[in-house]
Amino acid sequence: MSELTIKLETVDPIEFFGFNNNKLKILKREFSKLNINARGNKIVVMGNQEDLDLFSEKVLLLVDYIERYGKISDQHIEEILHGRNPYETNFPQFKDNVLVHGNNGTLVRARTENQQKVVDYSENNDILFAVGPAGTGKTYTAVALAVRALKNKWVKKIILTRPAVEAGENLGFLPGDLKEKIDPYLRPLYDALDDMIPADKLAYYMTNRVIEVAPLAYMRGRTLDNAFMILDEAQNATQLQLKMFLTRIGPSAKCIITGDMSQIDLPKNQQSGLKRTMQILEGIEGIGMVHLSADDVVRHRLVKEIIKAFDKDGEREQQHRDSNKN
């Protein structure tokens, strides 16, 4: 049994340990074999030397993050603790790859390797497909790229759209005017914008149609140039709808299509056109494709486990169906 004492000299212990030690509890959960105690600005740890070495390495990474950005979230702690290589220090979040300086000092950046691919591929292609499970930051990264393009005057407007399809529920009659009926379907796009643009500026952009948020059906017949276009939840679009949207793009426009093939909400008599559209367009110069996975999940740590559990269950069902056919 060995003992290790780490003194927090360059960061605020309250920020490191968290309110009611909630951040320290994450460390204790991840290093359950160690006896970890906080004493003022010190961490006193007892346990196996190999575990202590890994713990010390991770604490240094956490301290480095707080030194750079002044604060650290529970999600960032878990990302650092779950690095593929436990001694890897070059996590994507440590790179100077800020896309947008958001509200309240928030720095919006790519936080996984595949999210960085979305950034890089978008810069090198006019059309990009970014597909993967829930929580992988597809929409958020796409909106950040669009906001960056607008702030840097690379485009004159942003077009955000998604199919108005109910997520497995029958919502029935919705009160209000057309905008009030449609807005619930588009709420995730508004949420991302709220994080990145001050309220007064966003209101100005929306009023003056610099930023448009609209259902996919409203794109028909338009030609959009000098614009950054995002089609979100594209798994709920048919092949004809995707063709319609993609043919709206003007000579100086950018386009990102995001989707999750595991969450199709279309009626039984309609098929998603996303997978087939990507197969048709694969290999065309200027069209990029990024496939994100459960490893890119940046929500609560359990989201990754939930996705993996459902994937395993789907594989078992498929095997069962295949065995019945034989």
Integer CA distances (angstroms), 31 to 49, 53, 58, 85, in order: 13, 12, 11, 16
Pairing between strand 127-131 and 211-215? unpaired
Report DSSP letters for 251-302, one per residue. Answer: TT-EEEEEE-TT-----TT----HHHHHHHHTT-TTEEEEE--GGG--S-HH
pLDDT of residue 313: 78
Report DSSP letters for 75-101, one per residue. Answer: HHHHHHHT-SSTT----GGGSS-EEEE
- Split at pLDDT 50, 70, 90, the class of 125 is very high
Longest dimension (CA), the chain: 72
pTM of the predicted model as reported, rounded to 2 decimal places: 0.65
User: Which residue has 């056919």 as its token pair?
Assistant: 325
pLDDT score of 179 more than 80: no
pLDDT of residue 112: 81
pLDDT score of 33 more than 60: yes
d(CA 223, CA 250): 6
What's the chain's average pLDDT?
A: 82
Q: Domains of the chain, with CATH numbers?
A: 2-92 (3.30.1370.10), 98-314 (3.40.50.300)
Q: Quick one: which of 55, 60, 79, 82 has its CA closest to 11?
A: 60
d(CA 180, CA 171): 14
Residue 103: exposed, middle, or buried by beta-carbon count in 10 A (0-12, 13-18, 19+)?
middle
Note the pLDDT tens digit of each residue in 196-213. 998 899 999 989 999 988
Positive or negative: CA dihedral 226, 113, 290, 311: negative
